[in-house]
A and B are shown apart, each in its own frame.
Chain A
Amino acid sequence: MLRQVLKSILKKPVTIMYPYEKLEMPDKFRGKLKFSPEKCIGCKMCMKDCPTGAITINKIGEKKFEAVIDLDKCIYCAQCVDSCPKKALEATKEVELAQLDKGKLRVIFDAESQKTTEEESKK
């Protein structure tokens, strides 16, 4: 028992000071989705396979598609990433998605507005 006590005194704390320190997520982590509109062909396989109906692909122009992702519905399973034949979707390491405003949980990705929504959701 004494050995355990001494060992524990000399060790660094096992916890970290979140949110001042943050852990790095592993490479294969399934976090917030990222959509690349230029790759999408609008086959909607992702919509079909999504277990929760969190992703919607809309046609916004000739061969142009936008993705609407409800972050509160998404279970971060990345099935849509696997289903997509064109690799237009990918999972990022982003995990801090909590919001006070429910409206911000709906993220719209399209070629023009992608930058603005990304920035907004970071705030």
Chain B
Amino acid sequence: MADPRKFKIPIGPQHPALKEPESFSVALKGEKIKGLDIRLGYNHRGIEKACEGKTFIQDVYLLERICGICSHSHSTCFVQAVEEIAGLAVPRRALYIRTLVAELERVHSHYLWLGVAGHEIGFDTLLMYTWRDREAIMDVLALLTGNRVNYGINCLGGVRRDIDATQIKEVIKAIDELEERTKYYIEVATQEVTIIERLSGVGILSHEDALRLGAVGPTGRASGVNRDVRRDDAYAAYAELKFDVITDDHCDVYGRTLVRVKELLQSFSIIRQVLKNLPDGPIAVRAPRKIPAGEAFNRYEAPRGEDVHYVKANGTEFPERVKVRAPTLANIRSVKQMLKDRYLADMPIVIAAIDPCFSCTDRLISVKHDNKEKEVMEWQALRSYSIDWYSKRGVDFTELNKKLEEKFKHK
């Protein structure tokens, strides 16, 4: 007989505490987590397939929308791959501007994470503080690029907007202020006893496990994995800039917090160097509409870790294949390890500590059938399968469908 003290509780796919649809099935013994089953795939948007039906120019905007927070990461990763295939020499000024936006993005992403982490451990004042400060970065981004999110600064062969002296002043003003604030947060994180007590020893991921499970970004670096694409495989202007790769050997959520706040200071220093050494010259070269046949694989250090794009071109205006691996996919496996034998109450902060982006992670859909290994389903078949599935359970969508169609009929 099953142990009566053992429970299996589902969390998600729709759950008030989760911001995105993902599903966790937690096996509990008392308060302790004995097993964890993570299921993704509730927010598959078919972006890779959609890329094949759009031109390279359009894909930049589509891929930018993989993630609302690290949008610049995805678009830069993609344009770098395409530029490699087409053999474009991107002007140095463009590379510097890309780096500038990338680091501003990292700052706002880490600030956002700090607020969310504070919220998950019941420290909502931190959330209010960091998100207030983050506004300064968002305004700067809007000023430089024309929008607060989905900056649209990249184009094939360079960047779309130049920056001028007044803007540089604005950026420096914002950075000065934020650097002060960050120093304060570092003080809070290293001296505030409640934070240290709450986060230390939670979500432990040993150095060996981090390597084995392929953790990337701050998650890996907090377990002593000294890897950073910006240094190891320098792209954009990073080869000409000085910065440290922050690592930590706490191996827990506290370590991940320290890595992120310290990375903020590095980002500020990078931004200052970029603004100081901004080279003159054009901001873009003309890119051909038809990209010659070839393939490229590109890595990019997004705020959450290594982002990977693979692009294959076949000589037309449309890509043959685009493959994306968002950093969360690399980190999600380590969550299972981190939560083993831990308390259920630690789950929110441990999951939040990898700074997950589940919708960005959803890439592939494969339908498993009971008697067959795998099956490819056409859209129509999939639709009637779902209608069948529900009607067997007494849910009839015919009326609702009609109403919806009526309502959304476009003029």
Partner-B contacts on A (CB < 8 A): 4, 14, 25-26, 28-30, 48-51, 75-79, 82-83, 91, 102-103, 106
Q: With contacts A51-B54, A75-B61, A82-B155 known, is A29 near B135, CB below 8 A?
A: no
> Does residue B241 face the partner (Cβ distance < 8 Å to A)?
no
Complex CA gap A99/B143 in Å reads 27
Q: Chain B contacts of A30 at CB under 8 A? A: 146-147, 152
CB distance from A47 to the nearest CB of B (A): 12
A28:B143 contact, CB within 8 angstroms: yes
A26:B160 contact, CB within 8 angstroms: no
B58:A78 contact, CB within 8 angstroms: no
Partner-A contacts on B (CB < 8 A): 54-55, 57-59, 61-62, 65, 132, 135, 139, 142-147, 150, 152, 155, 160-161, 184, 410-411
Q: Chain A contacts of B411 at CB under 8 A? A: 102-103, 106
Q: Chain A contacts of B410 at CB under 8 A? A: 102
When C-beta atoms are compared, the residue in chain A nearest to B136 turns out to be A14
When C-beta atoms are compared, the residue in chain B nearest to A83 turns out to be B57
A91:B146 contact, CB within 8 angstroms: yes
When C-beta atoms are compared, the residue in chain A nearest to B144 turns out to be A28
CB distance from B142 to the nearest CB of A (A): 5
CB distance from A85 to the nearest CB of B (A): 13
Complex CA gap A48/B146 in Å reads 22
B61:A51 contact, CB within 8 angstroms: yes
CB distance from B265 to the nearest CB of A (A): 20
CB distance from A32 to the nearest CB of B (A): 13
A14:B135 contact, CB within 8 angstroms: yes
CB distance from A21 to the nearest CB of B (A): 15
When C-beta atoms are compared, the residue in chain B nearest to A73 turns out to be B410
11 contacts across the A-B interface (CB closer than 8 A):
A4-B184, A26-B146, A28-B161, A29-B142, A48-B55, A49-B55, A79-B57, A79-B58, A82-B160, A102-B410, A103-B411
A79:B145 contact, CB within 8 angstroms: no
Q: Is the interface of A mostly helix, strand, loop or mixed?
A: loop
Set A26, A78, A103: member contacting B152, Cβ < 8 A:
A78
Q: Chain B contacts of A75 at CB under 8 A? A: 61, 65, 150
Q: Chain A contacts of B62 at CB under 8 A? A: 51
A-B contacts besides A28-B144, A29-B146, A49-B55, 12 pairs, CB < 8 Å: A14-B135, A26-B143, A26-B146, A30-B146, A30-B147, A48-B55, A51-B57, A75-B65, A77-B150, A77-B152, A102-B411, A103-B411
B135:A78 contact, CB within 8 angstroms: no
Complex CA gap A13/B74 in Å reads 35
Complex CA gap A83/B160 in Å reads 11
Q: Chain A contacts of B58 at CB under 8 A? A: 49-51, 79
B61:A26 contact, CB within 8 angstroms: no
Q: Chain B contacts of A103 at CB under 8 A? A: 411
Set B54, B57, B146, B184: member contacting A78, Cβ < 8 A:
B146
B142:A25 contact, CB within 8 angstroms: yes
Complex CA gap A19/B59 in Å reads 35
Complex CA gap A102/B135 in Å reads 32
Complex CA gap A27/B143 in Å reads 7
CB distance from A93 to the nearest CB of B (A): 10
CB distance from A92 to the nearest CB of B (A): 12
Q: Chain A contacts of B155 at CB under 8 A? A: 82
CB distance from A50 to the nearest CB of B (A): 8
B146:A49 contact, CB within 8 angstroms: no
Complex CA gap A78/B146 in Å reads 10
Complex CA gap A106/B135 in Å reads 32
CB distance from A18 to the nearest CB of B (A): 14
CB distance from B52 to the nearest CB of A (A): 14
When C-beta atoms are compared, the residue in chain B nearest to A30 turns out to be B146
Complex CA gap A38/B184 in Å reads 56
Interface centre among B147, B152, B184 (most CB of A within 10 A): B147
Complex CA gap A8/B160 in Å reads 39
Q: Chain B contacts of A102 at CB under 8 A? A: 410-411
When C-beta atoms are compared, the residue in chain A nearest to B142 turns out to be A26
A79:B61 contact, CB within 8 angstroms: yes
Complex CA gap A48/B56 in Å reads 12
When C-beta atoms are compared, the residue in chain A nearest to B155 turns out to be A82
Complex CA gap A76/B64 in Å reads 13
When C-beta atoms are compared, the residue in chain B nearest to A75 turns out to be B61
Complex CA gap A91/B152 in Å reads 13
Top-10 shortest CB links A-B:
A51-B58, A51-B61, A30-B146, A28-B146, A26-B143, A77-B61, A77-B152, A49-B57, A14-B132, A29-B146
CB distance from A101 to the nearest CB of B (A): 11
Interface centre among B55, B132, B146 (most CB of A within 10 A): B146
Complex CA gap A100/B282 in Å reads 44
Complex CA gap A51/B224 in Å reads 42
When C-beta atoms are compared, the residue in chain B nearest to A29 turns out to be B146
Interface centre among A14, A48, A50, A77 (most CB of B within 10 A): A77
